[in-house]
Structure 1
Amino acid sequence: MAEEKTIPPPQPHVEDISGNEAQMASPSYRLPTLDTEFLLSEEMRGVRFMLEFAKADQVLRAWGIVSTIVVFGSARSHEAGDGRAAFWYQQARAFGRIASERGGALLHGEPIRRNVIATGGGPGIMEAANRGACDAGAPSIGFNITLPHEQEPNAYSTPELTFRFHYFAMRKMHLALRAHALVIFPGGFGTLDELFEILTLRQTGKAPVIPIVLFDKGYWTKLINFEHLLEHGMINPVDLELFKYAESAEEIWEILVANGLETFQATSTRARFGMMKRDG
């Protein structure tokens, strides 16, 4: 009987190299925090989501921002626009200034800022509100979003408070998280999305009681027949008390204060930000 021979298992091919270049170059050797391919993988989506929350939250805390006034509205309403669009822009800019001067964003000698203007960071009404804050020498926030047709930040949000998000959900969370008031100017799909999300959170008790103002009643009542919803039992009468209408920047501010917005107006003139650098 012939003797069986033992066949050794295959061995990995080892190149005759004198250094460790292959090991150093391997993707597995990269630090996870420096490995873009790894961080952008599907498995790391939860980590990326957490990072988008943590980065903005850390910066806002460092600036002492404890509350915001969020302004929504169309990206297509420009200062040089036709008809009502130019008026909406002008009033959004005026409101950004009024809120910044009277709301607490300019307070100095204290570690916190209140009622800081926050927008989606883009053009149109968002630009106008950030611009009004800039007119007052106050900081303001721009929560930008990465879109297929890239949305660039407007030139008036404070550079150090201008953020960019990939996830709409995290952007919305930051917009709502510190909001002590919501002002909605005329807009399209994006504005309606933000409006109804906040109204739903308020209706269901998932968000604290904050004043909500819709600017230009004629626009909103023609666009949305809230009474029709009530007539068919889709909402309760009390739901129509979740928001108010205003026709001017000054009226917006009066309604916000009358409906519970706390104000912290500075008692002395504050030095302007100049080039929007944070003061020490």
Structure 2
Amino acid sequence: MVASVTDSEAVPSNAAQMASPSYRLAAMDEDFLLGDSMRGVRFLLEYAKAEDALRAWGVRSTIVVFGSARIIANGPGRHAGWYAAAREFGRIASLRGGALLTNGEPRDNVIATGGGPGIMEAANLGALDAGAPSVGFNITLPFEQEPNAYSTPDLTFRFHYFAMRKMHLAMRANALVVFPGGFGTLDELFEILTLRQTDKAPKIPVVLFDEAYWRSVINFDTMIAEGMIKAADLDLFKFAESAEEVWSALLEGGLKPGEDIT
């Protein structure tokens, strides 16, 4: 005879256990993943996500272009010229650098920017003019920066950590081209110059666009006179006044171009 289950012997509900945050799969638990203890994991995720996408596209090396987000195509004074030069440089580098290779070989010297407006937009647009892919490394900012419309969608990333964004900008860079800009541009410029000065990064060519602007913003001679840097440290970068001059300076600095299809 089978005994019946009385109310007092009924299986208790486990609803509270099922609903508990501790029961969530760790990979699906947003509260856990966004907690302090997982900061290192989030840092790793920002590295791995971009790394996977760049490898899928065969991006072996880049030419990084920095510059102000506040410069527009029809802006005042020299702004329009800076925008036009950045766009033209993006086109030239994409055509001559190796970004267009489609035979299964790695892509080299792919234009990479911070992904936002201004000079970054111009360089990404220049790559698009050439029919080449380009990279946009965006950063989440308080004023809700959005990616420009010209970086390759599959290569348009968003970072929370400035440090990881900088790492991705630097780790594949065959060259750095810096157009006029403000605090953010200076931050990125001196980051790379410091890595080069201390031999923490390969000796890639660095070109500053518009010598008059840069010498008015930074008194390099005073830095030398006061013993803050050596005169030889100025050899870490060159100046250029046109997109073609930038390309020539990069080649003179050791940049190895890919297949030139111009």
Q: TM-score, normalised by structure 2?
A: 0.94
Please say if 1:240 is aligned against 2:234.
yes
- 1:3-82 matches, within 5 Å, as 18-82=12-76
- 59-68 vs 126-135, which moves further: 59-68
1:10 — aligned with what?
A: none
Of 141, 144, 151, which residue of structure 1 is paired with 2:145? 151
Name the CA shift for 1:150/1:17 in 2 (closer, same or farther; >3 Å).
farther
Counterpart CA distance in 2 for 1:237 and 1:28 is 60
Give % identity: 70
Partner in structure 2 of residue 3 of structure 1: none
Q: Who is 1:172 aligned against?
A: 166
Q: Report the counterpart of residue 222 of structure 2 in structure 1.
A: 228
Contact 1:143-1:175 within 8 A present in 2 as well: yes
The structural deviation recorded for 1:18 is 4.7
Secondary structure in 1 matching 2:137 = strand
Amino acid at match of 1:51: L
Structure 1 segments of 4 or more deviating over 4 A? none
Displacement of 1:17 = 7.3
Is the partner of 2:83 in helix, strand or coil? helix
Q: Secondary structure at the match of 2:81?
A: helix
Q: Tell me, what secondary structure is at the counterpart of 2:73?
A: coil
Give the Cα separation in 1 of the matches to 2:101 and 2:154.
Answer: 18
Q: Which residue is 1:135 aligned to?
A: 129
Q: 1:106 aligns with which of 61, 75, 100?
A: 100
Give distance in 2, aligned partners of 1:248 and 1:119. Answer: 19
1:16-60 per-residue CA deviation (whole Å, 9 max, x = no partner) reads 875432222111111111000000001110110111111101111
> 1:169-205 deviations in whole A, cap 9, x for unaligned?
0000000000000000000000000011111110011
1:253 alignment counterpart: 247
CA contact (8 A) 1:146 1:164 kept: yes
Structure-1-length-normalised TM-score = 0.88
Residue 107 of structure 1 contacts residue 266 of structure 1 at CA under 8 Å; is this kept in 2?
A: no
- Secondary structure of the residue aligned to 2:223 is helix
| 1:266, distance to aligned residue in structure 2 (A) | 4.5
- Provide, for residues 64-119 of structure 1, a one-character-per-residue CA deviation record: whole Å limited to 9, x for no partner: 11100000000000001111011100000000000000000001213310000000
Give the 3-state SS of the residue equivalent to 1:193 in structure 2: helix
Shift of 1:241: 0.2
> What does residue 262 of structure 1 align with?
256
DSSP 3-state at the match of 1:186:
coil
Q: Which residue of 2 aligns with 1:209?
A: 203
Query: Going by fraction, where is helix more abundant, 1 or 2?
Result: 2
Return 5+ residue gaps in structure 1 as ranges.
1-15, 270-280
RMSD (CA atoms): 1.2
Q: Name the aligned partner's letter for residue 105 of structure 1.
A: A
Do structure 1's residue 90 and structure 2's residue 90 form an aligned pair?
Answer: no
Question: Secondary structure at the residue paired with 2:59?
Answer: coil
Q: CA deviation at 1:237?
A: 1.5
- In the alignment, is residue 115 of structure 1 matched against residue 109 of structure 2? yes
Which is higher, the Rg of structure 1 or of structure 2? Answer: 1
Q: How many residues are treated as equivalent by the alignment?
A: 253
User: Which secondary structure state, in structure 1, belongs to the residue aligned with residue 170 of structure 2?
Assistant: helix
2:185 counterpart residue number: 191
What is the CA–CA distance in structure 2 between the aligned matches of 1:243 and 1:126, rounded to whole Å?
20
Structure 2 gap segments, 5+ residues each: 1-9
Aligned-partner residue type, residue 259 of structure 1: G
